[in-house]
């Protein structure tokens, strides 16, 4: 193999190497773009999760407040029912004595 043939082979390999490098650069750009898009999606999903967690927290607080209000109403109703029962007992006692 003479020098000319060796140079041609080297030149061919350099061309192939340059072609491979362009393809790798193109793939790298595509992957970088995909990575950026995925990061944006993650950020949006994180934001959605934060909003949902805030909504859940508010709903839990409202539920707790409602439970406390219901407990207070139940206590007031029990007091009122007990008062009515005492009045009924007085009425029955008055009726039996008269």
Residue 57 pLDDT: 97
Q: Residue ranges of the domains in the chain?
A: 1-69
SS3 label, residue 2: coil
Per-residue confidence band for 1, with pLDDT thresholds at 50, 70 and 90? confident
SS3 label, residue 54: helix
**Residue 19 pLDDT more than 90?**
yes
Mean pLDDT within 42-55 = 98
Alpha-carbon distances, residue 1 vs 7, 9, 15, 16 (angstroms): 10, 11, 20, 21
- Dihedral of alpha carbons 22, 27, 32, 34, sign: positive
DSSP count for the chain of H helices, then E strands? 1, 0
Residue 9 pLDDT: 95
Residue 20 pLDDT: 97
Cβ atoms < 10 Å from Cβ of 31: 10
- Express each pLDDT in 61-88 by its tens digit: 999 999 999 999 999 999 999 999 999 9
């Amino acid at each position: 193999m003479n020098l000319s043939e060796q140079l041609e082979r080297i030149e061919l390999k350099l061309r192939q190497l340059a072609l491979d490098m362009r393809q790798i650069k193109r793939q790298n750009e595509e992957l970088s773009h995909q990575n950026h898009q995925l990061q944006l999606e993650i950020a949006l999903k994180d934001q959605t999760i934060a909003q949902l967690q805030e909504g859940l927290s508010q709903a839990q607080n409202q539920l707790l407040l409602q439970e406390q209000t219901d407990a207070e109403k139940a206590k007031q109703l029990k007091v009122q029912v007990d008062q009515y029962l005492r009045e009924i007992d007085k009425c029955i006692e008055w009726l039996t004595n008269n």
